[in-house]
A and B are shown apart, each in its own frame.
Chain A
Amino acid sequence: MPKNEKIKKVLVIGSGPIIIGQAAEFDYAGTQACVELKKEGLEVVLVNSNPATIMTDKNMADKIYIEPLTVKTVKKIIEKENPDSILPNLGGQTGLNIAMELAESGYLQEKGVKLLGTSPEGIKNAEDRQAFKDMMESINEPCIASKVVTDLQSGLEFAREIGLPVIIRPAYTLGGTGGGIAYTEAQFNEICESGLRLSRVHQVLVEKCISGWKEIEYEVIRDSKGNCITVCNMENIDPVGVHTGDSIVVAPSQTLSDKEYQMLRSSAIKIISALKIEGGCNVQFALNPNSFEYAVIEVNPRVSRSSALASKATGYPIAKVAAKIAIGYTLDEIKNAVTGKTYACFEPVLDYVVVKIPKWPFSKFLTADRNLGTQMKATGEVMAIAPTLEAGLMKAIRSLEENIDSLILPKLSIYSNEEIREELKKVNNERIWVIAENLRRGMTIEQIHEITKIDKFFISKINNLVNIEKELQSSKLDADSIRKAKKYGYTDKVISNLTKARIEDIRKIREDNNIVANFKMVDTCAAEFEATTPYYYSSYDEDNEADKKTDKQKVVVLGSGPIRIGQGIEFDYCSVHAVWALKKKGFETIIVNNNPETVSTDFDIADKLYFEPLTPEDVENIINVEKPYGAIVQFGGQTAIKLTKALKEMGVKILGTSEENMDRAEDRELFDQVLNNCNITRPQGGTVYTVAEAKEVANRLGYPVLVRPSYVLGGQGMAIAYDDSDIEKLIEEINKIAQEHPILVDKYIMGKEIEVDAICDGEDVLIPGIMELLERTGVHSGDSISVYPTQNVNKESADKIVEYTKLLAKELNIIGMMNIQFILQNNEVYIIEVNPRSSRTVPYISKVTNLPVIDIATRVIFGEKLKDMKYGTGVYKRSEYVAIKMPVFSFEKIKNADTSLGPEMKSTGEVLGVAKNFTDAIVKAFIASGVNIPQEGNILITVRDKDKQEVLPLAKKLYNRGFKIYATKGTSAFLKQNGIETNVLEKIWEGAESIPNLVEAGKINFIINTPTKGKESSRDGFKIRRLAVECKIPCFTSLDTANALYDAIEDTKTEEEIEVVDITEV
């Protein structure tokens, strides 16, 4: 069936901010979809609240609304734009839920808007727990004994009936939010209660726990004619019980017989046919390892994180094909973009193994629960491709950037044999290292299987790696042992550590014996057909396939690795734009990255894609084959910046700001000289290595001080210290990881934070805009509300900021991007830091100013001058619109994480509010970030002593507006003294009016709570904040954020009343 000609204008709904469970994979899917729809000549209207995405770029759609993803706003857009159809299945669960609400309420029918792809009934049958179960029963597909309940009591009764342990899965939530395994009735009550609360439809599924079964996924595609194919299957190394997003996953499955494989494949096809899916779909199975018994766990009737992984693992572009199916094409009409010869209607074959490992945020949340279960906790993931599972595992481990490059986790060496065996029972992020350590200490594969239930095949693979370690440690280092180790994925550095041989000697042996990395192609067909898309991975087999000749000069763009807090999708945006700019300039572009979720690792982006770890050795292998003209590091975040020195040593030209100058920005003492040369002040401070040194500096400066390691992103390890004991704890924590660079201790200056991104060509500077952060210094800029253009900065200060930016750009010889953070205090301007690279704010500022920032920066890197371009120099013209970037957190996913804001970044994503004035923009931003703006109700205030005076005006305003104030004893007494009537909470945790009772009953609209001090939050405060998170109530830990909310409250306009803005017209 060819394209449906009735479809002319399509609304695409994106997935919103990056949160745990819904990340960059939907930017990848959405971008592919938009490109395909435009190619087909359709008019595309896009709505997504996430400004950091590539899909919200001007060239991606005809109309772009960076607006809250709510039913109300989407209705407004539909009424303004009158699309004839909606594409709902590429925007994750968020997009799907909105489309479903619009469809089920009859709104779409009323407006004559068609839902493309799967029908609402099909989606409902897949999403609604009971409907799904009924459907599975009707087609004879086995589900796990389970029951949908809407209240705790009937849940408990059912749990007793089928016997504990049981798994609780809330309906309609992302990444299984609020789910878990209950082994006791007490646990059951706790998990079931929170699950019911978090479910959009207030239902949870209670199901028989089948932990120990294998977890297998199939990615299936079906078209309107009923043609079905499976793109690939994947196997979780972790048996059922760990969320697939938190599991180590391999593709294709490694331990299934053909009978098992085909049995599940046939089942997947039967299910997708019964649901009449049109597009991509993911089916998860549990398989009893000892029989052919299986059960369907769940079906996602849309593209997903797994489909992004499957696309990157096989080369099959699922989202692209799904978009084409949605507008009428059938699989036999769509060409396979990789081979250009075969059709989309075939099943890829892999002649390599793919390993995915999740990236968890536990180094950010020291108090967090690291156990893994049905609630996903990972913020991102890495993928590795290799000829063997062992090599894939090793590559994936070093792609994680956790300072670990093998299966040896140094901290485990101190455990006794008994302790390390005990560790094996824990299902947490360190499990594979614990398994390796146990194998090293003589435990057998069988014994480990008994405890972990992980298939013996996988344990034996880990054992193979442990054996290589032993061989390297005990035998003579020669060409044979090195060749073997390389084939198993060991880097020279690890071989050197194990053999005690010098890296140079290992390299010498490798050179003399031609032990070099060769690159193989990912071609969807295991070489059966000639492929045209150059997508490569390294191996130590012979025969290099990355040898396509070109007359063009080559430039390498280094990507930013896995999505993590502090380094997210923004850097992928920058990398992709750099590639596009380079292509325009006529270069052959090469991208190196290891994140399967992103647009940058779509084989359509660069001329060549290398799916490899971002370590010096892995990058050098590519450099040796490609011999590029140069490399660009300033767009790939800290991951790429960290490789600068190594690249230079390989003889690669660093394009843009030089390595020496980057060092001058990052190195404390060199940077002090820079500031001296420019006559710019910064908070006083010093560099230290030890606790004693730190205390000395802190006492000299006077508390509070800001403590942080150098060369980090996202403020990792950064905190404010108020006294000596804080210093002790902080320095100890930082020094847990060996520091190559000194720790910085600075005087903490409380003031307004200002952020500037700038492009410099060596002569002139272009500043797209000056951004003002609403939270004062001390809250990480990535967690602050950022306002463009500035609202409260006078001309004098603004001029000084511009002047300083120009001075610094010149002094540091910046060529390309830079980012500066300033403190404004009493009209004094201080410098916090200069980042000689692209920043988190670049995508947002590009969109709201309409400046192609990365394109300009890339051109500048290649010698073009700003004054010859049409954009001018100095500060770019101020936008008529106010754009407010607001952080979004994923605290509800990370049990026991402290939610209070501080110098270390905690947010996972961001949304944008764009409007003609500040208050409308802030209203939008709050709504987009999921905060309800109350016009009446109750507010709980509990602040530390030093904030009491400051909270007073806000409390007064709220009180005068008719809000009822609840407060803890101290706060209440203070407010009363100042004429504010409060309901005092005598006891926080007891009685009818205890905080939990009030909060859980939904009586509190929001909470204002400032942590008592630094990192060491009082237990009460911590518990109140966690309670707020669990109950989905906003809790503001910075008074500035609370004041911003008050501004939104004062703007009494409702969501419907505020105009939606097409940013292509800004």
Chain B
Amino acid sequence: MNVNTRKLTKLLRDYGTMRGKLVSNKSNLDDILKEIKEYTFPNVVGEVSNKRIRKFGEGSKQIALIDFGCKENIIKSLVDRDCTVTAFPQDISAESIIEGNFDGILLSNGPGNPEDCKIAIENIKKLYKTDIPIMGICLGHQLMALATGATTAKLKYGHRGPNHPVKELKTGRIFITSQNHGYYVKEDSINKDIAEVSYVNVNDGTIEGLDYKNKNIFTIQFHPEACPGPQDCAHLFDRFLEMCSD
């Protein structure tokens, strides 16, 4: 009650992303500040990724989903499109997935700095070399970029909210998207022979999507599964599944 969200937003806007804590009593402020300063969250992806292999739906397409902290609606969006989704823990080996003979792979969203996901990056390098279609969302998008030689950096205060306009460069069309990320793929680090930019953010021009050359791979920084947020880009799941049918 009575959180001045506007003041908080301005603080973040001016000073960038920072740690914080919601408290009801300010009397021991020094202790709170100490706690905030010392707070770390190592292996955040490992913490939020489900440790078990889970199966969803009974559709005709077999999709492997690597769960880096996956939003439920990604799974639902696939299941609703006639897929059987097998969700794997984030540290699953590339070999296990390749052996599974899936029609496509979805690299899910997830929290934290993508560079910390060392195992996943190594696995994705291997998956990239196969012919299996891959779609990456958010963290999945960043990890694919890192796996193919690009680099990532941290935004001052991230893109967060259900109202981020992105431009599809091929058509010039704008879509309003749901976003929630603190890192981005640096444009000058992209090897033009490997990938080309498909979407950019209208507000700050950062990369919002990549199409991989001579591969059935595309990744996006925003959340086409929405929930919350606009579903204007839900058609990207169809694009992915078309790749999976080829």
List of A residues within 8 angstroms of B6 by Cβ: 351, 520, 526-527, 541, 543
Query: Would you call A342 an interface residue if the criterion is a C-beta within 8 Å of the partner chain's C-beta atoms?
Result: yes
Docked complex: A68-126 residues within 8 A CB-CB of B: none
Complex Cα–Cα for A543 and B232 (A): 37
Q: Flag the segment in A261-269, A466-474, A986-994 that touches B.
A: A261-269
Within the complex, what minimum Cβ distance (angstroms) separates A276 from chain B? 15
| Contact flags B224-235 to A (C-beta < 8 A → 1, else 0) | 001111111000
List of A residues within 8 angstroms of B5 by Cβ: 351, 526
Q: Which residue of A lies closest to B164 (CB)?
A: A346
Partner of A265, one of B7, B202, B227, B230: B230
Within the complex, what minimum Cβ distance (angstroms) separates B92 from chain A? 31
Query: Would you call B106 an interface residue if the criterion is a C-beta within 8 Å of the partner chain's C-beta atoms?
Result: no
Within the complex, what minimum Cβ distance (angstroms) separates A920 from chain B? 52
List of B residues within 8 angstroms of A345 by Cβ: 165, 174, 202
Query: Would you call A185 an interface residue if the criterion is a C-beta within 8 Å of the partner chain's C-beta atoms?
Result: no
Docked complex: B167-213 residues within 8 A CB-CB of A: 167, 172-174, 176, 202-203
List of A residues within 8 angstroms of B229 by Cβ: 258, 262
List of B residues within 8 angstroms of A543 by Cβ: 4, 6-7
Q: Flag the segment in A224-232, A418-426, A705-713 that touches B.
A: A224-232
| Contact flags A346-361 to B (C-beta < 8 A → 1, else 0) | 1111010000000000
List of A residues within 8 angstroms of B161 by Cβ: 349, 528
Partner of A269, one of B7, B202, B232: B232
A262 touches B230 (CB 8 A): yes
A541 touches B163 (CB 8 A): no
Q: Which residue of B lies closest to A530 (CB)?
A: B13
Question: A332 and B165 in contact (CB under 8 A), knowing A227-B173, A345-B174, A542-B7?
Answer: yes
Tally the A-B contacts, defined by beta carbons under 8 Å.
80
B7 touches A346 (CB 8 A): no
Query: Would you call A871 an interface residue if the criterion is a C-beta within 8 Å of the partner chain's C-beta atoms?
Result: no
Query: Would you call A862 an interface residue if the criterion is a C-beta within 8 Å of the partner chain's C-beta atoms?
Result: no
Within the complex, what minimum Cβ distance (angstroms) separates B176 from chain A? 5
Query: Would you call A166 an interface residue if the criterion is a C-beta within 8 Å of the partner chain's C-beta atoms?
Result: no
Question: A347 and B231 in contact (CB under 8 A), knowing A342-B203, A528-B13, A542-B7?
Answer: no
Complex Cα–Cα for A330 and B174 (A): 10
Partner of B9, one of A229, A341, A342, A527: A527
Query: Would you call A1049 an interface residue if the criterion is a C-beta within 8 Å of the partner chain's C-beta atoms?
Result: no
List of B residues within 8 angstroms of A225 by Cβ: 172-173
| Contact flags A534-567 to B (C-beta < 8 A → 1, else 0) | 0000000111000000000000000000000000
Within the complex, what minimum Cβ distance (angstroms) separates A208 from chain B? 29
Query: Would you call B34 an interface residue if the criterion is a C-beta within 8 Å of the partner chain's C-beta atoms?
Result: no
A351 touches B9 (CB 8 A): yes
Complex Cα–Cα for A541 and B10 (A): 14
Query: Would you call A343 an interface residue if the criterion is a C-beta within 8 Å of the partner chain's C-beta atoms?
Result: yes
List of A residues within 8 angstroms of B4 by Cβ: 541-543
B163 touches A347 (CB 8 A): yes
A348 touches B13 (CB 8 A): no
Query: Would you call A876 an interface residue if the criterion is a C-beta within 8 Å of the partner chain's C-beta atoms?
Result: no
List of B residues within 8 angstroms of A530 by Cβ: 13
Query: Would you call A415 an interface residue if the criterion is a C-beta within 8 Å of the partner chain's C-beta atoms?
Result: no
List of B residues within 8 angstroms of A526 by Cβ: 5-6, 9
List of A residues within 8 angstroms of B165 by Cβ: 229, 332, 343, 345-347
Docked complex: B90-131 residues within 8 A CB-CB of A: none
Docked complex: B1-41 residues within 8 A CB-CB of A: 4-7, 9-10, 13
A226 touches B173 (CB 8 A): yes
Partner of A346, one of B13, B202, B227: B202
A343 touches B176 (CB 8 A): no
Query: Would you call A529 an interface residue if the criterion is a C-beta within 8 Å of the partner chain's C-beta atoms?
Result: yes
| Contact flags B207-246 to A (C-beta < 8 A → 1, else 0) | 0000000000000000000111111100000000000000
A341 touches B173 (CB 8 A): no
List of A residues within 8 angstroms of B10 by Cβ: 527
| Contact flags A217-235 to B (C-beta < 8 A → 1, else 0) | 0000000011111100000
Complex Cα–Cα for A348 and B162 (A): 10
| Contact flags A329-349 to B (C-beta < 8 A → 1, else 0) | 011100000000111011111
List of B residues within 8 angstroms of A265 by Cβ: 230
Complex Cα–Cα for A145 and B5 (A): 44
Within the complex, what minimum Cβ distance (angstroms) separates B10 from chain A? 5
B228 touches A258 (CB 8 A): yes
Complex Cα–Cα for A330 and B167 (A): 12
A528 touches B9 (CB 8 A): yes
Within the complex, what minimum Cβ distance (angstroms) separates B72 from chain A? 13
Complex Cα–Cα for A259 and B228 (A): 8
A346 touches B163 (CB 8 A): yes
Complex Cα–Cα for A541 and B8 (A): 13
List of A residues within 8 angstroms of B172 by Cβ: 225, 330, 332
B174 touches A331 (CB 8 A): yes
Complex Cα–Cα for A227 and B167 (A): 10
Partner of A332, one of B7, B162, B167: B167
Within the complex, what minimum Cβ distance (angstroms) separates A724 from chain B? 60
B13 touches A349 (CB 8 A): no
A343 touches B230 (CB 8 A): no
List of A residues within 8 angstroms of B7 by Cβ: 541-543
Within the complex, what minimum Cβ distance (angstroms) separates A616 from chain B? 27
List of A residues within 8 angstroms of B226 by Cβ: 262
Complex Cα–Cα for A346 and B161 (A): 11
Question: A343 and B173 in contact (CB under 8 A), knowing A348-B163, A349-B161, A351-B5?
Answer: no
Q: List 11 A-B contacts (CB under 8 A).
A: A227-B173, A227-B174, A262-B231, A341-B203, A345-B202, A346-B164, A346-B176, A351-B5, A520-B6, A527-B13, A541-B7
8 extra A-B contacts, CB within 8 A, seeds A262-B229, A332-B172 = A227-B174, A229-B165, A258-B228, A262-B230, A345-B202, A346-B202, A347-B230, A351-B6
Q: Residues of A with Cβ closer than 8 Å to B?
A: 225-230, 258-259, 262, 265-266, 269, 330-332, 341-343, 345-349, 351, 520, 526-530, 541-543
- Complex A-B, nearest 9 residue pairs according to Cβ-Cβ distance, in ascending order: A258-B228, A347-B163, A527-B9, A227-B174, A346-B165, A345-B174, A345-B165, A527-B10, A543-B7
